[in-house]
Amino acid sequence: THTAMPTGGGVPTRGHPIFTGVNPVLGNVKNALHGTYHALRPKYLQRYLSEFCYRFNRRFDLAALVPRLIVAAARTPPLSYRLATLDA
């Protein structure tokens, strides 16, 4: 069920239980995108978000992140340039 919750920001909304999980995640997504990419283009937003989700879901085992990425890249079939540059 969707419930509208008017907020003006600031201290009163920070302590609300609904926002304790949502605000840090949204802040992390924003900072990761702005810190990683110099220019965000709308046609690549899905790819940016997919990359963030991959890293976010593996954030507790950072030592295994690069080896897992190498295994995933080795198992993935080649992608043609045409397919890689298709509009999302």
What pLDDT digit, counting tens, does each position of 4-29 carry?
A: 776 666 666 666 676 667 777 777 77
* Domain assignment of residue 6, yes or no: no
Q: What pTM does this model have?
A: 0.44
What local confidence, expressed as pLDDT, does residue 15 receive? 61
What local confidence, expressed as pLDDT, does residue 12 receive? 60
* Domain assignment of residue 33, yes or no: yes
What local confidence, expressed as pLDDT, does residue 11 receive? 64
* Domain assignment of residue 58, yes or no: yes
* Domain assignment of residue 20, yes or no: yes
* Domain assignment of residue 31, yes or no: yes
H or E element in which residue 49 lies: helix 45-57
pLDDT tens readout for residues 34-76: 777 767 778 888 888 888 888 788 778 878 878 988 998 899 8
Residue 43 contacts residue 88 (beta carbons within 8 Å): yes
Can you give the residue range of the structural domain that contains 26?
11-84
* Domain assignment of residue 55, yes or no: yes
Residue showing tokens 């992608």: 79
Number of domains in the chain: 1
